[in-house]
Amino acid sequence: MITNILAIIAAISAAAILFVKEVFHAALLLLITLLCVAGIFVTINSEFLAVVQILIYAGGVMLLIVFGIMLTVRSKPVELPNADNKIVSGLFGASLFAMLVYTLGERIMPTPTTSIAPEEFGTLLMTRFAIPFEVAGMLLLVSLVGAIVAATQGKES
């Protein structure tokens, strides 16, 4: 029940991204969608993922995007230019959705398994999934350095 309500809110705010005029409003709508997805993670007993979703997506990624918007938009709010391929891309998206819904209607639905507690999650992170964890940390470090270099290259410091 709660999952349905959250799914409807997420779907509405995601669909509104297609129609808003300003980039900042689109970012706020995306934030609502991400929080609803975090709520769905809670309702299906994946609390750790919900926390990660809120901390990293709603905190980190949205902060980055809002900074990006504020640094690229001029002093007066710029209206998004009307894309001339709106109808074609809308058709592409709608047909992809129709195809996915058709395929979902045909398949036998999965039978999900039980969840794991956050304590187990931490233990697994340090034992069974230690190597992917280290690789992910390395990837984060490299992309951080890369982002700094890409953003400041060519400027005299």
Q: Which of residues 70-129 bind other proteins (CB under 8 A)?
A: 71-72, 80-83, 85-86, 88-90, 92-94, 96-97, 100-101, 104, 109-116, 120-121, 124-125, 129
Q: Which of residues 8-37 bind other proteins (CB under 8 A)?
A: 10-11, 14-15, 17-18, 23, 26-27, 30, 33-34, 37
Q: Minimum CB separation from other proteins for residue 38, in Å?
A: 10
Q: Which of residues 138-157 bind other proteins (CB under 8 A)?
A: 139-140, 143-144, 146-148, 150-151, 153
**Is residue 51 near other proteins by the rule CB under 8 A?**
no
Position among 56, 77, 122, 130 found at the interface with other proteins (CB under 8 A) = 56
Position among 4, 122, 130, 134 found at the interface with other proteins (CB under 8 A) = 4
Q: What is the distance between the alpha carbons of residues 51 and 3, in angstroms, rounded to a whole number?
A: 17
